[in-house]
C-alpha cells in the first residue's frame, strides 16, 4: 500500500490548490451561471448542494481522479462482497448486510449465509418488540412494561440513542426508552430515580460483553432490581442482552432465550442496524425500524452503483480530503438545523474519529498525510450564539455541513421558516462575508463618525470564502434518518480509502482500557507507585486521600 501522496492526482491537486488560492467562491458563482445546479446531486431522500466550496469543475475532476486512483471501485466492491477489509482483525465489514434488500438471498462469509442470520435476528426483534408493546411481556409482578433502559457504550450506545432521538415524532406512546452509558454512577442513578423495577426492562448491549462501563452498569441495574423486590428467579423478566459473545452474556447471568446475536463482521460504531438497534425498535416500533433500514439500504445502493460524479458519499468524502490535506483544515463541523438531530454530530464524531483517527497505512507503514479531522458540531440555531463567531472570523478554516429538513414535524407559528432562514443565511454569510468597504458603509449609515468608522470597521470584516455543504431533505423520517447516517458511514469509508488506512479497527481505544485497569488497581489496593511518573502518583494520592 503506497501513500496517496504518490498518486498523480494528489500531486495535481497540490498544484491546483495554489492556482485556486486567490479565487473567491463568489467569483466562481459569477463565472458560472449553472453552478448552483451543476454542483448539486440527490439520493435516497437527500439533496447535496456542494456549490459553496472552494472548488471549480477542475477541482472536482481532480478529486474524482484521486478517488479512482486510490482504488475506490475495488474497495467498495470488496466491502459489499464481504472481503476481510478490516485486515488487522481479519474481518469482513458488513453493516450493509444488516440492511440488505429482501430481494437479496445470499451473502456468504466463511461459508455462512449472513443474511439468514440477519433475518432471523430481525424476527426475534419483532417478537420482543411486539411482546413489549402489546403488554404480553410482563414484569415479575405481572405488570405491563412502561420503561426500557438501554445499557451500553460507544457504538452500543450512541447510534441507537441518536436515532431514537431523531425519530421522536414516531415514538410509541406507552413505552419510554432511556439510555445509560457512563460508568459515572450519576448516570444510572439519575435514570433509575424515576423508574419502577416492576415495569422496567433493561437491554444490555455489548458486542464483546467485556466492556467495563457496560458490565458495571448492568451489575448496578441488577442490584437495583433485586433491591426493589424482583426475585432472583424472575430477573430474566427484566433483562435482555445483545452480544456476539453469548457465552459471556450467559455467564453474566443473562437468560439465553433473551440474548440477541451480533457478529464480528459488524463494527461497534456501525452496529445500530443490528440488534444493537433494539432500543430504537422498542421506541418507534419495528415497522419504523424497517423503514430506517430501507433508507440506509437506498444510500448503500446509491454508493455502490452511482457514478462518482453524482455519488454523495464520494463527493463529500473527496471534498473533505481537499480541505484536510490541501487547505490544512483541522476540523469539520456538522450543524443540523433540526432539534431532533441535535445529538447527531456526536454519533458522526464517534463514527469518523474512531474510524479514521489512524497514523498507519493498511500495510502498517506510517502515513505521510494528515488523516481524519476532528469532527464536532451541534444544533443550529443554538451554535450561532456560541461557536459560529470562530467559523466566520476565526483564523482557522472549518468546512461545515449544514443539514436541514424542509418541513417540520412541529409547526409553531413561523418558527420553521425562521430556522431554515438561519441555516441558509449562515451558509451564505460564510461564503460571501463582508468587505471593509461594506463594513465602513454600514457604520456611516448608522451615523458613526469617520474616526469611529476607521477604528471599528476592520473588526466587522468577515473574510468569507469559507466552505460549506448543505444537505436538504423533505422531512426527517425513519427512511431519511437511515439514509443520512449511511451517507456519513460511506463518506468515512471513502476518506479512509483515499488515505489508505483501515477504517474499521480501533487499537488506540483498546490501550486506554488496559491502562485504566492498572490505575484502578492502584486506587483500590496498596501498591508501590514509585516507578510511575510524579503526576500520575500525585493524582492517585489525591483520590486515595479523599476517600
Residue with smaller CB distance to ligand F6P, 447 or 512:
512
Residue selected from 4, 82, 139, 154 as contacting ligand F6P according to rule CB under 6 A: 154
User: Would you give the binding string for ligand F6P spanning residues 357-396, x where CB under 6 A is met?
Assistant: ----------------------------------------
End-to-end CA distance of the chain: 52
* 3-class SS of residue 243: strand
> Which residue among the candidates 291, 354, 388, 440 is catalytic per the annotation?
354
Rounded least distance, CB 93 to ligand F6P, Å: 13
* Interactions with ligand F6P, residue window 188-207 (CB under 6 A): 206-207
Phi, psi of 376 (to 5 degrees): -155, 180
* 3-class SS of residue 234: helix
* 3-class SS of residue 447: coil
Q: Does residue 509 bind ligand F6P (CB under 6 A)?
A: yes
Rounded least distance, CB 137 to ligand F6P, Å: 24
Which region among 85-93, 152-160, 361-369, 398-406 touches ligand F6P (by CB under 6 A)?
A: 152-160
Rounded least distance, CB 510 to ligand F6P, Å: 7
Residue with smaller CB distance to ligand F6P, 155 or 380:
155
Q: Does residue 269 bind ligand F6P (CB under 6 A)?
A: yes
Q: Does residue 161 bind ligand F6P (CB under 6 A)?
A: no
Residue selected from 44, 62, 145, 153 as contacting ligand F6P according to rule CB under 6 A: 153
Rounded least distance, CB 409 to ligand F6P, Å: 30
Rounded least distance, CB 359 to ligand F6P, Å: 18
Give the residue closest to ligand F6P by C-beta: 268
Q: Does residue 155 bind ligand F6P (CB under 6 A)?
A: yes
Cis peptide leading into residue 170 (ω within 30°)? no
Pairing of strands 108-109, 112-113: antiparallel
* 3-class SS of residue 455: helix
Helices (H), 70-211: 72-80, 114-134, 158-166, 185-193
> In angstroms, rounded to a whole number, what is the distance separating the alpha carbons of residues 353 and 331?
11
> Which residue among the candidates 123, 143, 407, 513 is catalytic per the annotation?
513
Are 400 and 331 spatial neighbours (Cβ–Cβ below 8 Å)? no
User: Which residues are within 8 A (CB) of 343 and not within 5 positions of it... i.e. 6 or more apart?
Assistant: 158, 161, 162, 165
Which region among 148-156, 231-239, 341-349, 385-393 touches ligand F6P (by CB under 6 A)?
A: 148-156
Residue with smaller CB distance to ligand F6P, 208 or 393:
208
Are 82 and 265 spatial neighbours (Cβ–Cβ below 8 Å)? yes
Residue with smaller CB distance to ligand F6P, 218 or 318:
218
Residue selected from 4, 45, 160, 268 as contacting ligand F6P according to rule CB under 6 A: 268
Of the candidates 398, 403, 393, the residue with the CA atom closest to the CA atom of residue 376: 398
Is residue 459 annotated as part of the catalytic site, yes or no?
no
User: Would you give the binding string for ligand F6P spanning residues 26-65, x where CB under 6 A is met?
Assistant: ----------------------------------------
Cell matching residue 546: 479523599
Q: Cell 500500500, residue?
A: 1
Is residue 248 annotated as part of the catalytic site, yes or no?
no
> In angstroms, rounded to a whole number, what is the distance separating the alpha carbons of residues 378 and 41?
25
Rounded least distance, CB 90 to ligand F6P, Å: 17
Q: Does residue 495 bind ligand F6P (CB under 6 A)?
A: no
Q: What is the dihedral of CA 490, 496, 500, 506, to 10 degrees?
A: -120
Which region among 7-15, 106-114, 153-161, 309-317 touches ligand F6P (by CB under 6 A)?
A: 153-161
Q: How many CB atoms lie within 10 A of CB 20?
A: 18
The length of the chain, given as a count of residues:
547
Cell matching residue 184: 459515572
Residue with smaller CB distance to ligand F6P, 457 or 485:
485
Q: How many CB atoms lie within 10 A of CB 166?
A: 29
Q: How many CB atoms lie within 10 A of CB 518?
A: 10
User: Would you give the binding string for ligand F6P spanning residues 310-329, x where CB under 6 A is met?
Assistant: --------------------
Are 335 and 158 spatial neighbours (Cβ–Cβ below 8 Å)? no
Rounded least distance, CB 180 to ligand F6P, Å: 13
Rounded least distance, CB 268 to ligand F6P, Å: 2
Cell matching residue 73: 471501485
> In angstroms, rounded to a whole number, what is the distance separating the alpha carbons of residues 547 and 384?
43
Residue with smaller CB distance to ligand F6P, 70 or 351:
351
* Interactions with ligand F6P, residue window 204-233 (CB under 6 A): 206-208, 211, 214
Rounded least distance, CB 304 to ligand F6P, Å: 25
Residue 291: C-alpha distances to residues 118, 280, 286, 380 (Å) = 16, 12, 9, 26
Is residue 385 annotated as part of the catalytic site, yes or no?
yes
User: Would you give the binding string for ligand F6P spanning residues 88-127, x where CB under 6 A is met?
Assistant: ----------------------------------------
> In angstroms, rounded to a whole number, what is the distance separating the alpha carbons of residues 529 and 519?
10
> In angstroms, rounded to a whole number, what is the distance separating the alpha carbons of residues 354 and 494?
15
> Which residue among the candidates 105, 193, 257, 385 is catalytic per the annotation?
385
**Longest CA pairwise span in the chain (Å):** 83
Rounded least distance, CB 310 to ligand F6P, Å: 32
**Catalytic residue ranges:** 354, 385, 513
Binding site for ligand F6P (CB under 6 A): 153-156, 206-208, 211, 214, 268-269, 354, 506, 509
Amino acid at each position: 500500500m503506497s501513500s496517496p501522496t504518490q498518486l498523480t492526482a494528489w500531486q495535481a491537486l497540490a498544484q491546483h490548490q495554489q492556482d485556486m488560492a486567490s479565487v473567491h467562491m463568489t467569483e466562481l458563482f459569477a463565472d458560472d451561471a449553472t453552478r448552483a445546479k451543476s454542483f448539486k446531486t440527490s439520493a435516497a431522500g437527500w439533496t447535496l448542494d456542494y456549490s459553496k466550496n472552494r472548488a471549480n469543475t477542475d477541482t472536482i475532476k481532480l478529486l474524482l481522479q484521486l478517488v479512482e486512483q486510490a482504488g475506490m471501485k475495488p474497495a467498495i466492491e470488496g466491502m459489499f462482497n464481504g472481503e476481510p477489509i478490516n485486515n488487522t482483525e481479519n474481518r469482513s465489514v458488513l453493516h450493509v448486510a444488516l440492511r440488505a434488500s429482501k430481494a437479496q438471498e445470499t451473502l456468504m462469509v466463511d461459508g455462512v449465509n449472513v443474511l439468514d442470520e440477519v433475518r432471523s435476528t430481525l424476527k426475534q426483534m419483532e417478537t420482543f418488540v411486539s411482546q413489549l408493546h402489546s403488554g404480553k411481556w410482563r414484569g415479575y409482578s405481572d405488570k405491563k412494561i412502561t420503561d426500557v433502559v438501554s445499557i451500553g457504550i460507544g457504538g452500543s450506545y450512541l447510534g441507537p440513542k441518536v436515532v431514537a432521538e431523531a425519530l421522536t415524532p414516531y415514538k410509541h406512546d406507552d413505552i419510554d426508552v432511556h439510555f445509560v452509558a457512563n460508568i459515572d454512577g450519576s448516570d444510572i442513578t439519575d435514570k433509575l430515580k424515576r423508574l419502577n423495577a416492576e415495569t422496567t426492562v433493561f437491554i444490555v448491549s455489548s458486542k464483546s460483553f467485556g466492556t467495563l462501563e457496560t458490565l458495571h452498569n448492568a451489575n448496578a441495574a441488577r442490584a437495583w432490581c433485586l433491591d426493589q423486590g424482583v426475585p432472583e428467579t424472575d430477573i430474566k423478566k427484566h433483562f435482555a442482552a445483545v452480544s456476539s459473545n453469548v457465552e459471556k452474556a450467559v455467564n453474566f447471568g443473562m437468560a439465553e432465550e433473551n440474548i440477541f446475536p451480533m457478529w464480528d463482521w459488524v463494527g461497534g460504531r456501525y452496529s445500530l442496524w443490528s440488534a444493537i438497534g433494539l432500543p430504537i425498535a422498542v421506541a418507534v416500533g419495528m415497522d419504523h425500524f424497517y423503514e430506517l433500514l430501507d433508507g440506509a439500504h437506498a444510500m448503500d445502493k446509491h454508493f455502490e452503483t452511482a457514478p462518482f460524479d453524482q455519488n454523495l458519499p464520494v463527493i463529500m468524502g473527496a471534498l473533505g480530503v481537499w480541505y484536510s490535506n490541501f487547505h490544512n483544515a483541522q476540523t469539520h463541523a456538522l450543524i443540523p438545523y433540526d432539534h431532533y438531530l441535535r445529538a447527531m454530530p456526536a454519533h458522526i464524531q464517534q463514527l469518523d474519529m474512531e474510524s479514521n483517527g489512524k497514523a498507519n497505512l493498511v500495510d502498517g507503514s506510517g502515513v505521510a498525510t494528515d488523516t481524519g479531522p476532528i469532527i464536532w458540531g451541534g444544533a443550529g440555531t443554538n451554535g450561532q450564539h456560541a461557536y459560529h463567531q470562530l467559523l466566520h472570523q476565526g483564523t482557522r478554516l472549518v468546512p461545515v455541513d449544514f443539514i436541514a429538513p424542509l418541513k417540520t414535524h412541529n409547526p409553531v407559528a413561523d418558527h420553521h421558516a425562521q430556522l431554515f432562514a438561519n441555516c441558509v443565511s449562515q451558509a451564505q454569510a460564510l461564503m460571501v462575508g463582508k468587505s471593509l468597504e461594506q463594513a465602513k458603509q454600514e457604520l456611516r449609515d448608522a451615523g458613526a463618525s469617520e474616526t469611529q468608522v476607521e477604528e471599528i470597521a476592520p473588526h466587522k470584516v468577515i473574510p468569507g470564502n469559507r466552505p460549506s455543504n448543505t444537505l436538504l431533505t423533505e422531512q426527517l423520517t425513519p427512511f431519511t434518518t437511515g439514509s443520512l447516517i449511511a451517507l456519513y458511514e460511506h463518506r468515512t469509508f471513502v476518506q479512509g480509502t483515499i488515505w489508505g488506512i483501515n477504517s474499521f479497527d480501533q487499537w488506540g481505544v483498546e490501550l486506554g482500557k488496559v491502562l485504566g485497569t492498572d490505575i484502578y488497581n492502584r486506587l483500590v489496593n496498596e501498591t508501590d507507585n514509585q516507578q510511575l511518573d510524579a503526576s500520575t502518583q500525585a493524582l492517585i494520592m489525591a483520590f486515595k486521600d479523599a476517600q
